[in-house]
Amino acid sequence: MQITVGGIAVDVVLKDIKNVHLSVHPPTGRVTIAAPAHMSMDTVRLFAIAKVGWIRQQQDKLNQQERETPREFLSRESHYVWGERYLMKVIESDAPLAIELKHSRMVLQIRPGMDSEKKKELLDGWYRELVREAIKPLLTTWEQRIGVKSNGVSVRRMKTKWGSCNPTAKTILLNTDLAKKPRECLEYIVVHELVHLLEPTHNERFIKLMDQHMPKWQSHRQLLNSLPVRHESWDY
């Protein structure tokens, strides 16, 4: 359910928890409240009203976060791989489509006349394969450490999340754009979603499990949320 306070939309979820949890989610500033199941909506609303100033302060910080400029996939354009910056070099050729990193350059080999949408699809597919390969050793390590086993991990481009977990099906979905961020950000998201197999919500138990398995997880989250995001709207 959703309430509005001070012109701010707040998503409210009632759960079997003891305390109220207020979150402003980067990078778009979406606001959520998780409240005890027995709490009335009037009480939740009063709580939210008392926090409007703090909410706006957090949203202002997020609105100042750097955004990537829209990409045209042209030579000399900047692109990122595992947190490192590369200058794109576009080569038109009848040879097979290919992407290769050479020193500080990302060489994009395309067919003559290929439009920007096709180039975007090519690059997205390449990023997707990078994530798929990178998560294999991470899953082997972290499933054993945490004591869980996922039934499958998919990678695709998402507009609203870095990752998600279906605890019932034991499946995980990761965002293709994680290949642009430092590797520790991908590792943090993998651990985050695996812990959701033990605890589906972001309650005290979830936080304790994250602290136990990845003590520096909050610094990794801060790093991820401080980096430039795609020009489109995001949320995690």
Q: What is the pLDDT of residues 89-108, one digit of tens each?
A: 999 999 999 999 999 999 99
Q: State mean pLDDT over 53-76.
A: 80
Thinking of the domain 78-226, which architecture would CATH place it in? 2-Layer Sandwich (3.30)
Q: What is the mean pLDDT of the chain?
A: 90
Cα separation, 219 vs 236, in Å, equals 15
Strands (E), the chain: 2-5, 8-15, 21-25, 30-36, 78-81, 84-92, 98-102, 105-110, 152-156, 163-166, 171-175
Instruction: State the pTM of this model.
Output: 0.73
Nearest to 81 by CA among 117, 129, 153, 114: 129
pLDDT band at 236 (very low <50, low <70, confident <90, very high): very low
Determine the Cα–Cα distance for residues 159 and 174; give it in Å rounded to an integer. Answer: 11
Q: Residue 223 and residue 208: Cα distance in Å, rounded?
A: 20
Is 70 exceeded by the pLDDT of residue 45? yes
Q: What is the pLDDT of residue 24?
A: 85
Rounded to 10 deg, the angle between the 204-213 and 183-195 helix axes is 130
Cα 110–chain centre separation: 29
Using an 8 Å Cβ cutoff, are 190 and 142 in contact? yes
Distance of CA 143 to the CA centre of its chain: 20
Give the residue range(s) of CATH 3.30.2010.10 domains in the chain. Answer: 78-226
Give the pLDDT of residue 70. 73
Q: What is the mean pLDDT of residues 125-146?
A: 97
Structural contact between residues 123 and 73, judged by C-beta atoms closer than 8 angstroms:
yes
